[in-house]
Structure 1
Amino acid sequence: MINYFSKYKFIFYLCNFILIVLYLFPGSLLGCYFYDDCKIQPQITANFIVSTNHLYAYIVLSLIGFLTYRKKNQFNILSIYLIFLSIVLEVLQYFVPNRSFEFSDLFGNLAGVIIAIIIFYFFKKNENFEN
């Protein structure tokens, strides 16, 4: 029987896998599905200074991760992992056909992780981290 935390770890790992596939697919996998055109990227909301699609993706991924790994030492390691992932995936897009490295995307990735860290700390400020 799968215990409570194993289910959430599976969801977190699945979200990681999906994000990696979406980032490294040559073109837009979502554009292929929704518009029958792999060159069109669906846009959730208009971009401002950062890419909002990237911002939303990393907020969701980070919050799922932080809710899955609640211990303080796991939180620190996960924070470093998410920042590293956001940088590496964006840099790798430079080498993927029909994709490109963009600073607005990178800043959206990093802003999503940082916002999730702030949200997590805000809700956990009255609670002590588990050992």
Structure 2
Amino acid sequence: MLNFLKKHNKLLLGLSWLGILLFLMLKPGDELPKAPNIPHIDKIAHFGLFFVLLFLWMRIPKKKNIKTFFTIYLVFGIFIAILVEYLQGMVPMRTFDFMDIAANIAGGAVGIICFYILYKYDNKLV
């Protein structure tokens, strides 16, 4: 079991974050904590959640396959961004918002770009 966890820790971390993201994004609005009075805090939250998601997912493939997965994960990020927002429209006290989709996609794209920059300089975070 421990050997499995060591071997697949990046995949498990990526899947765990996806689960957390889906849990938070699809929770009914009346169950969410009161957000601080900061302009566009919901867009910042969407950006941050997808930034982390795509950064973590970019860590999963082996180094030699990174350029292939760059495009695959960008498409995955766009798909998940739209799907989650669509599903939010069906959750009580949540709404569908095109600007949330934009924040999701922007966060994911910046997460991929940050990963690639760190990867290019052989940073320990990747």
Answering whether residue 82 of structure 2 is matched by residue 87 of structure 1, we say yes
* TM-score of the pair, normalised by structure 1: 0.75
Distance 2:119 2:85 in 1: 30
Question: For residues 91-125 of structure 1, what are the alpha-carbon distances to aligned partners after superposition, in whole Å with 9 as ceiling and x for unaligned?
Answer: 11111111001222111101101111221232334
1:120 and 2:115 equivalent? Answer: yes
* Whole-Å separation in 2 of the counterparts to 1:75 and 1:28: 37
Structure 2 gaps, min length 5: none
Count of residue correspondences: 117
In structure 1, what is the Cα distance between the partners aligned to 2:30 and 2:46? 13
Instruction: Identify the structure with the greater helix proportion.
Output: 2
Output the amino acid matched with 1:112.
Answer: G
TM-score normalised by structure 2 residue count: 0.77
Secondary structure of 1:68 counterpart: coil
When residues 45 and 14 of structure 1 are mapped into structure 2, their CA distance, relative to the original with a 3 A threshold, is farther
Q: Report the Cα distance in structure 1 between the residues aligned to 2:24 and 2:59, rounded to whole angstroms.
A: 23
Conservation of the 8 A alpha-carbon contact between 1:46 and 1:52? no
Distance (Å, rounded) in 2 between the aligned partners of 1:57 and 1:109: 8
Identity between Structure 1 and Structure 2 (%): 28
**C-alpha RMSD of the superposition:** 2.4
Between the two structures, name the one with larger relative contact order (CA 8 Å, sep ≥ 6).
2
Change (3 A) 1:78 1:91: same
- The runs of 5 or more residues in structure 1 that have no matched partner are 32-39
